[in-house]
Amino acid sequence: MSKLIGVFQELSFLENTPIENISAWVKEKIDPHRLENYLASRLFYPQTVPATPQEINIDLAILREALRVNNRLLYDPEKNRFEVSTAFINRFGSLSNIILSFLDVTVMKKGVVYIYLKETNRQPIGTILTPEIPPDIRKVLVRMSLNVFELETGKAHILEAREPNYIISLNNMPQQVIGGLAGVIVNLK
Amino acid sequence: MEPTALTANLRPRINFSLVTHVKRHCEGGVLTIKKGDVVQPFDVLGKTQINPGFFILDLAKRLGVSNKQAVSYLRKPIGSKIFKGELLAIKPGFLNLGNKIITSPTDCTLDSYNESTGELTIKFLPKEVPILAGVYGIIDDIATNNEIIIRTLVTEVFGVFGSGKQRFGELHVLGKQDSFTLKEQISPEMSSQIIVAGALIYPDAIKRAISIGATGIVCGGLNARDFKSMTGTINTNRILGSDLGISVMATEGFGPNSIGEDIYRLLLSQDGGSALISGNSAKLLLPSRDPDSLLKVQKTIIPVSRYPEAPPELRLTAIETGRIVRVIWPPFMGMQGKIVHIDNAPTVLPSGISTFLLTIEGKQRKIKVPFTNIEIIA
Q: Provide the ipTM.
A: 0.89
Alpha helices in A45-140 (DSSP H): 53-69, 86-92, 95-105
What is the band of B1 on the pLDDT scale with cuts at 50, 70, 90?
Answer: low
Residue B45, pLDDT > 50, answer yes
Q: What are phi and psi of A17, to 5 degrees?
A: -70, 135
pLDDT band at B239 (very low <50, low <70, confident <90, very high): low
Q: What's the CA angle centered on B209, arms B285 and B166, to 5 degrees? A: 30
B269 sits in which H/E element: helix B261-269
Q: Is A21 exposed, middle or buried (0-12, 13-18, 19+ CB in 10 A)?
A: middle
pLDDT in tens, A13-47: 898 899 999 999 998 889 999 999 999 999 999 99
Task: Tell me what the pLDDT averaged over chain B comes to.
Answer: 91
Residues of chain B positioned with their CB less than 8 A from the CB of A33: 223, 225, 255
Q: What residues contact residue B281 under an 8 Å CB cut-off, 6+ apart?
A: B162, B308, B309, B310, B311
Interface contact A9, partner B, CB < 8 A: no
pLDDT tens column, B157-214: 999 999 998 999 999 999 899 999 999 999 989 999 999 999 999 999 999 999 888 9
Rounded Cα gap, residues B167 and A55, in angstroms: 39
pLDDT reading at B107 higher than 80: yes
> In this model, does residue B147 exceed pLDDT 60?
yes
| Mean pLDDT confidence for B126-150 | 89
Residue among B9, B231, B234, B325 with most chain A CBs within 10 A, to mutate: B234
A146 touches chain B (CB under 8 A): no
Q: Residue A13: closest CA among chain B residues belongs to which residue?
A: B235
User: B203 by DSSP, 3-state: which?
Assistant: helix
Question: What contacts B133, CB < 8 A, 6 or more positions away?
Answer: B24, B39, B40, B41, B42, B43, B44, B45, B150
Query: Greater confidence, A128 or B127?
Result: A128
Closest partner CB to A3 (pick from B160, B316, B351): B316
Q: How far is CA B13 from the centre of its chain?
A: 15
Greater confidence (B343 vs B129) lies with B343
Q: Provide the pLDDT confidence category of residue B52 given band limits of 50, 70 and 90.
A: low
CA nearest to B178, candidates B162, B161, B197, B194: B197
Contact between chains at A48 and B372 (C-beta distance less than 8 A): yes
**Residues of chain B above pLDDT 90, percent:** 74
Residue A1 confidence (pLDDT): 44
8 A C-beta contact, residue B8 and residue A4 = yes
Look at A47 and B225 and tell me if their CB atoms are within 8 Å.
Answer: no
Using the Cβ of B322 and the Cβ atoms of chain A, whether some distance falls under 8 Å is answered with no
Are the C-beta atoms of residues B186 and B206 closer than 8 Å to each other? no
CA distances from B74 to A3, B64, B117, B188 (A): 61, 14, 16, 22
Average pLDDT of span A3-16: 84
Find chain A residues with C-beta within 8 A of B368's C-beta. Answer: none
Question: Is the pLDDT at B49 greater than 90, yes or no?
Answer: no
- Residues written for chain B: 378
Mean predicted confidence (pLDDT) in B258-273? 96
Report residue B4's pLDDT band, with 50, 70 and 90 as the boundaries.
low
Query: A26 CB contacts (<8 Å, ≥6 apart)?
Result: A35, A57, A58, A61
Query: Could you say which residues from 81 to 120 on chain A have a Cβ atom under 8 Å away from some Cβ of chain B?
Result: 90-91, 93-94, 97
**Nearest Cα to Cα of residue B313 among B142, B98, B102, B158:** B158
**Size of the A and B interface in Cβ pairs below 8 Å:** 105
Contacts of A94 in chain B (CB under 8 A): 352
CB atoms A56 and B353 under 8 Å = yes
Q: What is the SS3 assignment for A86?
A: helix
Q: Does the distance separating the beta carbons of A4 and B7 come in below 8 Å?
A: yes
Subunit contact B355:A6, Cβ cutoff 8 A: no
pLDDT of residue A173: 81
pLDDT at B347 over 90: yes
Of the given ranges (A48-57, A80-89, B16-25, B99-108), which has the lowest mean pLDDT?
A: B99-108
Question: Does the structure show a pLDDT above 70 at A2?
Answer: no
pLDDT grade, residue B311 (50/70/90)?
confident
pLDDT tens-place string over residues A43-101: 999 999 999 999 999 999 999 999 999 999 999 999 999 999 999 999 998 999 999 99
Mean of pLDDT over chain A? 91
Cα B17 to chain centroid distance, Å, stands at 21
Report whether pLDDT(B9) > 90.
yes
Angle at the Cα of B151 (from B146 to B155), degrees rounded to 5?
120
User: Which of the residues B202, B316, B353, B368 would you substitute to probe the A interface, choosing the one with the greatest number of A C-beta atoms within 10 Å?
Assistant: B353
pLDDT tens-digit series, residues B314-331: 999 999 999 999 999 999
Query: Does the CB of B356 have a partner CB in chain A at under 8 Å?
Result: no
User: pLDDT digit string (tens) for B351-372?
Assistant: 999 999 999 999 999 999 999 9
Which residue from B minimizes the CA distance to A59?
A: B351
